[in-house]
Structure 1
Amino acid sequence: MESRRGNPMAAEGEFSELAATRRIQRLSSHISPAVATPSAPLLQTEACVSRPKKLEVNGEALSLYLRGKHIDIQEKVYKFYNSRPDLLTPIEISMDDHRELCMRQLYALVREAGVRPFLYVADDPEKYFAIMEAVGSVDMSFGIKMGVQYSLWGGSVINLGTKKHKDKYFEGIDNLDYTGCFAMTELHHGSNVQGLQTTATFDPIKDEFVIDTPNDGAIKWWIGNAAVHGKFATVFARLILPTHDSKGVSDMGVHAFIVPIRDLKTHQTLPGVEIQDCGHKVGLNGVDNGALRFRSVRIPRDNLLNRFGDVSRDGKYTSSLPTINKRFAATLGELVGGRVGLAYASVGVLKVSATIAIRYALLRQQFGPLKQPEVSILDYQSHQHKLMPMLASTYAYHFATVHLIKKYSEMKKTHDEQLIADVHALSAGLKSYVTSYTNKALSVCREACGGHGYAAVNRFGSLRNDHDIFQTFEGDNTVLLQQVAGDLLKQYKEKFQGGTLTVTWNYLRESMGSYLAQPNPVTARWEGEDHLRNPKFQLDAFRYRTSRLLHSVAMRLNKHSKTLGSFGAWNRCLNHLLTLAESHIESVILAKFIEAVKNCPDPSARAALKLMCDLYALDRIWKDIGTYRNVDYVAPNKAKAIHKLTEYLSFQVRNVAKELVDAFDLPDEVTRAPIAMQADAYAQYTQVVGF
């Protein structure tokens, strides 16, 4: 008898028999009643019909659904600045001129256009953020400068102070007579706010606080509005009280104080205050960042922003909160609005960059079939792979940040403790995740536009440079993700102790239970399009991954803490923790996207949103397919089907890409890039350079 090696035909026949056997076994696993779930169909099949034709998208309905109830105020801002060429930022401008222009832009908004953002900071945050988005489209430096004045300086006064502070400062902040700064960050301390070294020592004889910078590391650094325009600063410092015991002094922790830094009439720097310019930056050069040093600067006792802690005339400290940590947490909780605004503003930048890149990709033609017209570069699969998941992500982040703003607004009205904790964690996660994504997307968009993306007039350079710092201020992104991971671990512990889960983490109750069970071997193999596009499958997959990561990192932390201590264990598991936080935020984003699809009233707009939601979900699953394969949550055939469907959905989105970016409703004066003009793009582009 011949060996198999010597008889290729026999080997081939045996291979065919094995393949057939495996195929029979696979089909049996699909239809076996013993393992099928009662609620699921026994066999998933893909209909043998042609793919659907291009969607018909009601662009007006989609745009109205996207832009919400504050369209009018944004249109007012767009129209005003478009009518004032003198207030538009030129392509080339010096740092000093840019700073003065941004101040004029802000004065014009308030005193000429009659838009008063400060009126909405506390009472209608949704409207405030809508104004900020519109202003940022005029100039990102202008948007940040407005945020420093109203959200940071103004917000600290009304959120950390009491009635006496609001009565004294509100009108001046609102009408820009009292321009101000938010002096938290120090040269040596940024993210670790509890480690700040600036001191505010109470002098009971003169009833004053003495503000001091004890060393160079305590110099306030990167303080917006400080270098040129600011007249006041909210200074975060350690409140020091003299005592009669052996200690001599008592450190009450970090508090906020109003410190005048320039004379209201002459604008001269006040005695004891030293101000230095931080100089030219990578971006946002319209914002005048400065450094502040204080040498025994005296301020009245009333300048302590005393909502969470106060000092009486005789030097007694009182607070409704019992510990330094609780007071500190309450203080930072009231300042979360800046983080919320950055997440939302980052989506605005993503909309602009995606619009420019996609409109250009539809316009630009290159190569094609032999002796036939050239085709649009967006017809190439590789280009669709770059830009279409990005477009879907833009929509996903839009709905997630709108949800965040609504929760923040509700928090400001109710002051509910559970909601405060929820918003704090959610804003940390979304700010970190969205700004990191936008930063990478800006480079992808620039490259997708080839050499023309490198022209300053087409804006990718300024958008990249101005947005880059979004990853760092209002909390470094890596630090913020650790906050999210820490909160998840706290909720994990609460779950198994029968505690109450905060609103955002409620899904853990169900998904942790499903994680502890093994993946269903039947659903792991389903590859039909209906199944893959089912929101339940998508959300279950996202949440399963998060739950698995949460369980595994909790076990690792417990193990390592026994030998390394809590800090050492955290550091050993840090990358795992960051992955957990990102996975959780993606779960929240997808849940909000699915909800937005369901709530869209127009059928055609809803169909377009469903298409993009499916692309967002499956693209993310495919990008992390190794995780799902490692635990047999997705079988090889299903992984392949997910990849194929993701490519097809990208093609489907490409077919309506124009309608989808048009729905952002960004007029040409907002995008401003010649290659993104909706008519005569090349004519306007050549005109810019002088032809």
Structure 2
Amino acid sequence: MAPTRKGSEDALFPDFPRGPLQAYRARASFSWKELALFWEGEDVLRFKKTIFSALEKDPLFAHPRGHDLSLEQYRELTFRRCKRIFEYDFLSPTELPQSPLKFLALTNSLGMYDWSLATKVVLHSFFFVSTLYSSGLERHFRYIPKIFRMEIFGCLALTELSHGSNTKAIRTTAHYDPATEEFVLHSPDFEAAKFWVGNMGKTSTHAVVFAQLYMPGGQCHGLYPFIVQIRDPKTLLPMPGVMVGDMGRKIGQNGLDNGFAMFHKVRVPRQNLLNRTGDVTPEGAYVTHFKDDRQRFGASLGTLSTGRVCIVGMSVTNLKLAVCIALRFSATRRQFGPTDGEEIPVLEYQLQQWRLLPYLAATYALDHFSKLLFLDLVQLQQGLLADDRSARQAELGREIHALASAGKPLASWTAQRGIQECREACGGHGYLAVNRLGDLRDDNDPNCTYEGDNNVLLQQTSNYLLGLLGRGGPDGARFESPLKSVDFLEAYPAILCQKFEVASLQDCLDSAAPLAAYKWLVCYLLRESHEKLNQERKSGISDFEARNNSQVYCCRSLALAFLELTVLRRFHEHTHQPDVPPSLRAPLQRLSALYGLWSLGQHMALLYRGGYCSGERDSKLMESAILELCAQLKDDAVALVDALAPPDFILDSPIGRADGEAKAASPRGSSLASGDVPQARAPFALPWDPRGACC
């Protein structure tokens, strides 16, 4: 007989030990186990449980993560943990294409434990590998088995000291020499040094290096990726002509060895050019099937969308952990009360609900968006591997680029603000390092910067939206896209005539109300940005200056509002689908409405300025709806975080324990000398032998 759904729940989720949180769990309107199964799926939940269980049982992963260790010790310990992850073989290379959500679960599960470890694993096993797949051909796939056996260790080298977001200005060169059929890689000066490259500081033996491709006649064909060996795998000494080093201590993620490299006339074989978008014949002739160089450039940098999509998930994971800690603590921490009698949990206070519950709603909304965007990216990559050159494939690439370019800023900024709010909402206990909120804040901070500065990235999204206006036929612009994120703009003249016409508070408690407001807002900002850009161009300045002068208050706001709308629309559709279990519909739909209204609140001035709202009733109605939704979700808050929270060993926060008992814990950062946790060696020692075995 097949196991019942209840049997599956009990097998996956043992009951929490009774404690102070039991009172709130008893009040919940639904089963947190049922929500976890609906939200993640049984396969993913079992997979995550396998990962968490392995880490908890393995002495190598005993806490602490890195406090009170020297930089060298923490870097080596992280590498040894990285190697152990590959030994566990949680997800083999052959499974990756068939199990994209399991890969996402692996990344974020490791990140819940330690982002230094997770980032190190992902940079080597996914970014390095996916670049070979997406930019190379079959001749390059021979590296894949060596990567997963850790016979070589990889990194992705794009950013330079003087150029990060402006990838077209990268200055590392690769001149082709037909006499030897080799490319000569060279860094003209220190400003052209590859910089901030994860894994490069200590451990990488090979790098995918982006360089400007030059032919013998001096013609440059733009940026291309090359496989370059930077260290000897047996000794870890730099290869001839390569200067490579570590960048030192950072604000966070110090177990990850970010590094720099310079190349002095380093020769690499012609076959090491990743040539999916263009190639060089042995004689020195350049060939490509792209007629438009802009399309080729965009295809060659497709890996950037991969990085940005992953950062969305990383940011959401950080927010999950912070919200779990803060809400569990808020449900057990007692302060004041209506009389001189018993104090009440701070979660009962409207102010605490207003501070934290919108971030819980944002966690669910952004988590759903993150998963869908990752699946969209997998679809794009599959098209690239199949050499799909259709118009739909090209449009899908542009749409995902636009969504990822705004998704990373929205997710990382929301996590940044949310973690800080959670830290403050936990009072002095939130400031204790042992409760981990400080680490989450520091480890999340680089998400706002790498793979593109957030404010700069938003220009990519607004450029995409503005570009749609100029791509119409004789009847005007046509708004449609493979993922349907812009299809609503087809009716944007009519949408601009709409007003906020919610009749009652009850009507405002469904996410349809903020969804309609967001559609108007994006249409309004698109019109305003288009008019501002045209006005600047008519003044006689260059197109560069016109775009530069249109960002603040126009294009930047357009990009963020468009992405907030996309997140809300996808979450609204998900929570209103017929497959949602009846007991989960009300709490999930409340989360959707709360996220929409709370996010919309930061745009109230625009809603009034553009005439969508008028009078004080509209804003008061939205404020009342937010508070009402918080009150309705208050008793479900603990169950909602239970469905997201990892085991106590992974969450590693005394005030966020699953039983609600804030028991004393040894300070994070205590010495690794106790128990059987291996001591890191100093100076940094060779971490593997030629066969891939750890020394």
- TM-score bin, normalised by smaller chain: 0.7 to 0.9
Q: 561, 564, 569: which is aligned to 1:583?
A: 561
Q: 1:65 Cα deviation (Å)?
A: 1.6
Say whether the 8 Å CA contact 1:201–1:239 is kept in structure 2: yes
Q: Which stretch of structure 1 is more off in the superposition, 653-662 or 418-427? A: 418-427
**For 1:360-399, what aligned pairs fall within 5 Å after superposition?**
360-399=329-368
Shift of 1:638: 2.5
Hey, what does 2:461 align to over in structure 1? Answer: 484
User: Structure 2 residue aligned with 1:237, among 207, 211, 216?
Assistant: 211
Q: Which residue of 516, 521, 536 corresponds with 1:560?
A: 536
Residue of 639, 643, 652 corresponding to 1:672: 652
Greater RCO, 1 or 2 (C-alpha within 8 Å, sep 6+): 2
Task: Determine the C-alpha separation between the residues in 2 that align with 1:189 and 1:136.
Answer: 28
Cα distance, 1:333 vs structure 2: 2.0
Task: Indicate which of 109, 130, 148 corresponds to 1:155.
Answer: 130
Q: CA deviation at 1:656?
A: 1.1
Aligned residues between the structures:
627
Q: Superposition RMSD on alpha carbons, in Å? A: 2.0
Separation in structure 1 between the aligned mates of residue 96 and residue 189 of structure 2, nearest angstrom: 35
Between Structure 1 and Structure 2, the one with more helix by share is 1
SS in 2 for 1:420: helix
In structure 1, what is the equivalent of residue 4 of structure 2?
Answer: none
Flag structure 1 segments of 5+ consecutive residues without an equivalent: 1-52, 244-248
- Cα distance, 1:516 vs. partner? 4.0
Compute the displacement of 1:411 (Å): 1.9
Q: Distance in 2 between matches of 1:513 and 1:154?
A: 46
1:681 equivalent to 2:681? Answer: no
**Mapped partners of 2:54, 2:328: distance in 1:** 25
Partner residue in 2 for 1:299: 268
2:40 corresponding residue in structure 1: 67
Give 1:297 deviation, angstroms.
Answer: 0.7
Structure 1 residues 191, 686: closer, same or farther in 2, change over 3 A? Answer: closer
Q: Which range moves more in the overlay, 268-277 or 502-511?
A: 502-511
Q: Which residue of 2 aligns with 1:44?
A: none
The whole-number CA distance in structure 1 between the counterparts of 2:290 and 2:669 is 62
Deviations 1:89-135 (A, max 9, x none): 41432221111111111111111x22245445555432211110111
User: Which secondary structure does the structure 2 equivalent of 1:488 belong to?
Assistant: helix
SS of the residue corresponding to residue 480 of structure 1 reads helix
TM-score, normalization by structure 1: 0.87
2:160 to 166, 173, 186: 186
Q: Residues 12-58 of structure 1, C-alpha deviation per residue, up to 9 Å, x if partnerless?
A: xxxxxxxxxxxxxxxxxxxxxxxxxxxxxxxxxxxxxxxxx976112
Structure 2 residue 524 is matched with structure 1 residue 533: no
1:240-279 paired onto structure 2 within 5 Å: 240-243=214-217, 249-279=218-248
Identity value in percent? 31
Paired residue type of 1:235 = V
Which string of whole-angstrom CA distances, capped at 9 and with x for unpartnered residues, describes residues 516-565 of structure 1?
Answer: 42x34xx53x4413321344332111110010010011011001112222
Query: How far has the Cα of 1:586 moved from its partner?
Result: 0.8
Q: CA deviation at 1:325?
A: 2.1
* Distance of aligned partners of 1:118 and 1:288 in 2 relative to their CA distance in 1, 3 Å threshold: farther
Cα deviation, 1:150-208, whole Å, max 9, x if unaligned, reads 22222212221110110x20101112111011111100000111110000111111111
Structure 2: how far apart are the matches of 1:689 and 1:365?
29
The equivalent residue for 2:175 is 201
Max radius of gyration: which structure?
Answer: 1
1:605 has 2:584 as partner? yes
**Contact kept? 1:283, 1:465, Cα under 8 Å:** yes
Pick which of 397-406 and 612-621 moved more. Answer: 612-621
Shift of the alpha carbon at 1:514?
2.2
Instruction: Check whether the contact 2:134–2:381 (CA below 8 A) recurs between aligned residues.
Output: no
Q: Name 1:429's counterpart in structure 2.
A: 406
Residue 665 of structure 1, CA deviation: 4.0
Q: Does 1:217 align with 2:196?
A: no
Deviations 1:261-281 (CA, angstroms, capped at 9, x unpaired): 111222221110001211111
In structure 1, the residue corresponding to 2:179 is in which secondary structure?
A: coil
In 2: Cα distance, 1:345 partner to 1:117 partner: 21
The unaligned stretches of length 5 or more in structure 2 are: 1-25, 385-392, 671-695
Cα distance in structure 1, aligned partners of 2:453 and 2:94: 29
CA deviations over 1:287-346 (Å, ceiling 9, x no partner): 111110111111111111111111111001111112432211111124422211110121
Amino acid paired to 1:581: A
- In structure 2, the CA distance between the partners of 1:118 and 1:461, relative to structure 1 (3 Å rule), is farther
Greater shift, 320-329 or 255-264, is seen at: 320-329
Question: Which position in structure 1 is the counterpart of 2:422?
Answer: 445
8 Å contact kept, 2:511–2:589: no
Counterpart mapping for 1:121-136 below 5 A: 121-136=96-111
Q: How many Å separate the matches in 2 of 1:684 and 1:339?
A: 38
Cα distance between partner residues in 2 of 1:179 and 1:344: 24
SS of equivalent residue, structure 2 residue 291: coil
Q: CA deviation at 1:624?
A: 2.3
TM-score, reference length from structure 2: 0.87
Aligned to 2:318: 349
Check the 8 A contact 1:118/1:154 in 2, yes or no.
Answer: no
1:626 and 2:625 aligned: no
